[in-house]
Amino acid sequence: MDFYSELEIALFSADINTKELIVNRAISYCLRTDEHVCSFEPKVQEEPSYAQICKIVPPKELPKRKDFNSKDGLIALVHSITHIEFSAIDLAIDAVYRFPNMPTDYKLDWLIVAQDEIRHFRMLLEILNKLGAEYGDLPVHKGLFEMAYKTKQNIIERMAVIPRYFEASGLDVNPKITAKLQNFKSNPIVAELLEALDIIYNEEIDHVSKGDLWFKYLCDIENSDYQDRYLEIINKYKLIGRASNFDIEGRKKAGFSCSELIALGAKECS
């Protein structure tokens, strides 16, 4: 396998089948080979792969997704989550492609995350199709891509900002959406969506945990304090204070300490 050339194809392609095939091949490759990098130079990705199939707009122009009792409201909700999962596929692939000097265990971790995100995307796409919609029918934003772009040359910042900030924020949001959807679970599609969200939530804890592990691995190399370094990075990107209503238990399972959560703005943690 021409490991990085194929990952590049997967990253830049908008075709989910292409991504899945290459990710599966890359996992098999890493399981039998300790990758050694010679002269590979990752390409800068100026636009996300989904720009080929989605109209990208500023967040304020996105469709509202408050009315979960209507077909249009459900489509808007499911489309937005489907988009997050598609974005997460590329973020996981990019974590391997863009930082080739990391250990093989790191590469395996993020390829397995990509594999999970592909499965999540397919689950949600099936629900979206049952609602009579397709991924790309509604506009999307590229906030996650922009943050990945800003951290493209600094892996410790990437681990702090993407899995440990944005994916951890997904842990905070998931239970709130689930609670609202409970009122409409007599709808079979909503019941199916609730099952999918439960799977995603539990597996995202593992994804954030992987980000936590590799962030702390890089802090140890720097000989820096985990909490201080994390706060420094998210302050740099003006993310501090943007979220404080934390899913405490989920974040603790993923590696956050109570002292850190209090420092981030949690009212209490035990």
The pTM of the full predicted model, rounded to 2 decimals, is 0.95
164's enclosing H/E stretch is none
Whole-number pLDDT of residue 102: 93
Report whether 62 contacts 80 (CB < 8 A).
yes
Which residue stretches of the chain have pLDDT < 70?
A: 35-38, 65, 242-244
Residues facing 210 on adjacent strands: none
| pLDDT tens, residue by residue, 163-207 | 999 999 999 999 999 999 999 999 999 999 999 999 999 999 999
Whole-number pLDDT of residue 46: 95
| pLDDT tens, residue by residue, 206-233 | 999 999 999 999 999 999 999 999 999 9
Cβ-Cβ contacts under 8 Å for 70 (sequence gap 6 or more): none
Q: Domains along the chain? A: 3-43+59-264 (1.20.1260.10)
Distance between terminal CA atoms of the chain?
48
Rounded to whole angstroms, the Cα distance separating 90 from 112 reads: 12
110's enclosing H/E stretch is helix 104-130
Q: Amino acid identity, residue 69?
A: N
Whole-number pLDDT of residue 36: 64
User: Directed axis angle between helix 168-181 and helix 188-222, to 10°?
Assistant: 160
